[in-house]
Amino acid sequence: MTDGDEPLVQLESLSEQVAGAIMEYGSVRLISHNDADGLSAAGIMCNALHRRQILFHATIVSQFDNSTVELIEKTPQEAVILCDMGSGQNELASKIKNVIIIDHHKPTGKLENAHFNPHLTGIDGSIEISASCGAYMVARCMGDNTDLAGLALVGAIGDKQPMKGGNKFILDEAVEKKAVAVRKGLRMGDDPVDELLEYGLDPFLDITGDREKIRTFLDEAGISGRINDLGEEELIRFSSLISLKLAKQGSLSAIESLMGDIFILNNEIITNVYDYVNILNACGNAEKPATGIALCMRDVSVVYEAKAITRENQRKLIETIRKAQAQIQSGQNIRYVMLEDTSGTGAIAGTLTRYLYSDKPFVTLNDVEDRIKISARGTRKLVEAGLDLAFAMREAAASVGGMGGGHNVASGASIPKGTAPKFIEYLDSVIGKQLGKS
């Protein structure tokens, strides 16, 4: 880094402080989020802690709330590292003794403990420096851990972050250290094209999940085999046909991101970054986070299981998305759907927003056990128009006795049963004000 990159220089200083704080302890409890960013962040820290011979106990959770604090209190450690959470829940995090935070959500208060967050240096963590990138910045100050740079990019791609600023710095370092190679292509993974269309969520098309329609589509196009094996003419024809389908369903922004740089992770046992993202998200959704962490620690024995989990999880998600489409309700400023005991609500909301309903934020409410868990997704265009889902979800959840927060473009919440109508009404109103519509 150069003196001209002042925010990045400050970020490296933060990394050194947090790394120093971690290395003061002989054992730590590591708590992280269950999506691709949270799991890759946890994987980076597990590798770094193991290499420093610091004992660790890793736990992956779907959200940070009172139950997480209670869990920590039952099995106390010298210190607790929170990854991909904590910055936006200052009061909760402050209850934890010797807490160390590595996060990229917008902080809501001041924490006296060691705290890595790009927002503290003026960098917007929703678009630059994900939790995994933060974990990598800290890990590289704990020893020779630059071989983990590929995992940092997995989290950034999982959070749909562009490769600029701090992310570009990590990408350049990854390429320099030969941890990552870059090539142009379709951002869809390495499986055969028929399987990518049957089980993949990116892109989400009218034929996704329908084996017969996919076979007809590919037969008419004269396309078969793996993407890597397609000739230049076949690849152009395939991408053109997919782009046409995306255009018909109004997914114009998705067309722009269909082709581009693909990162090959030279040090990882899953080499295509998009395959890796899908696997980690699936492991989190299917409540098999240990498999995801083992993958991040390069345990080849879990590859078959991880791929099987991913295939089944994506099949279920596609099925749920199709059912959800028939149940969508509209407020003045949002769309929403009420589901019951469903996993992957963030992926559902994200897919519907990205590929089908990009004009309004999409909110997925999931009635599970004793709470209603909520995922909301917007678009960068809506954020530019004033949308801040982190604020809106936090305020709407608080109005009914719940908790919420996250990023301006993607956020979550947890509210008591029976409060969904009031929550939706409040959320719709707040978002209307943000977008200047009410």
Q: What is the pLDDT of residue 257?
A: 83
Q: Span 353-375, mean pLDDT?
A: 92
**Stretch among 85-89, 98-102, 262-266 having the lowest mean pLDDT:** 85-89
Of 20 and 342, the structure prediction assigns the larger pLDDT to: 20
Please write the tens of the pLDDT for every residue from 269-285: 999 999 999 999 999 99
Q: What is the pLDDT of residue 438?
A: 62
Is the predicted pLDDT of residue 110 greater than 80, yes or no? no
Closest of 437, 434, 384, 378 to residue 411, by C-alpha: 378
Find where tokens 């992310």 sit.
167
Q: What is the pLDDT of residue 3?
A: 46
Of the chain, the percentage scoring pLDDT greater than 70 comes to 99
Instruction: Report the chain's mean pLDDT, rounded to a whole number.
Output: 93
Is the predicted pLDDT of residue 148 greater than 90, yes or no? yes
Q: Residues 223-231: contacts with CB within 8 Å, 24+ apart? A: 223/193, 224/192, 224/193, 224/194, 225/192, 225/193, 226/190, 226/191, 226/192, 226/193, 227/185, 227/186, 227/188, 227/189, 227/190, 227/193, 227/196, 228/185, 228/190, 230/193
Find where tokens 């929550």 sit.
423
Of 88 and 27, the structure prediction assigns the larger pLDDT to: 27
Closest of 283, 355, 271 to residue 312, by C-alpha: 283
pTM of the full predicted structure? 0.92
Tell me if 376 sits within 8 A of 412, measured CB to CB. Answer: yes
Confidence of residue 258 (pLDDT cuts 50, 70, 90): confident
Tokens encoding 108: 């809501």
Tokens encoding 417: 């049963």
Of the chain, the percentage scoring pLDDT greater than 90 comes to 79
Tell me if 430 sits within 8 A of 415, measured CB to CB. Answer: no
Please write the tens of the pLDDT for every residue from 152-165: 999 999 999 999 99
Is the predicted pLDDT of residue 374 greater than 70, yes or no? yes
Is the predicted pLDDT of residue 4 greater than 70, yes or no? no
Burial label, 73 (beta-carbon count in 10 A; 0-12, 13-18, 19+): exposed
Closest of 40, 136, 60, 123 to residue 289, by C-alpha: 60
Is the predicted pLDDT of residue 304 greater than 80, yes or no? yes
Is the predicted pLDDT of residue 141 greater than 50, yes or no? yes
Q: What is the pLDDT of residue 341?
A: 86
Tell me if 259 sits within 8 A of 239, measured CB to CB. Answer: yes
The yes or no reply on domain 327-434 and CATH 3.10.310.40 is yes
Please write the tens of the pLDDT for every residue from 231-242: 888 988 999 999
Is the predicted pLDDT of residue 146 greater than 90, yes or no? yes
Cα atoms found within 13 Å of the Cα of residue 69, Cβ hemisphere only:
14
As its CATH architecture, domain 6-161 has: Alpha-Beta Complex (3.90)
Is the predicted pLDDT of residue 29 greater than 80, yes or no? yes
**Residue 254 belongs to what H/E stretch?**
helix 252-256
Q: What is the pLDDT of residue 343?
A: 81
Q: What is the pLDDT of residue 75?
A: 82
- Rounded CA-CA distance 360/363 in Å is 10
Tell me if 428 sits within 8 A of 395, measured CB to CB. Answer: no
Q: Span 54-58, mean pLDDT?
A: 96
Q: What is the pLDDT of residue 327?
A: 93
How long is the chain?
Answer: 438
Confidence of residue 317 (pLDDT cuts 50, 70, 90): very high
Please write the tens of the pLDDT for every residue from 183-218: 988 888 888 999 999 999 999 999 999 999 999 999
Q: Are strands 27-33 and 335-340 parallel, antiparallel or unpaired?
A: unpaired
Continuous H helices in 326-374: 345-355
Locate the domains of the chain by residue range.
Answer: 6-161, 185-288+307-316, 327-434
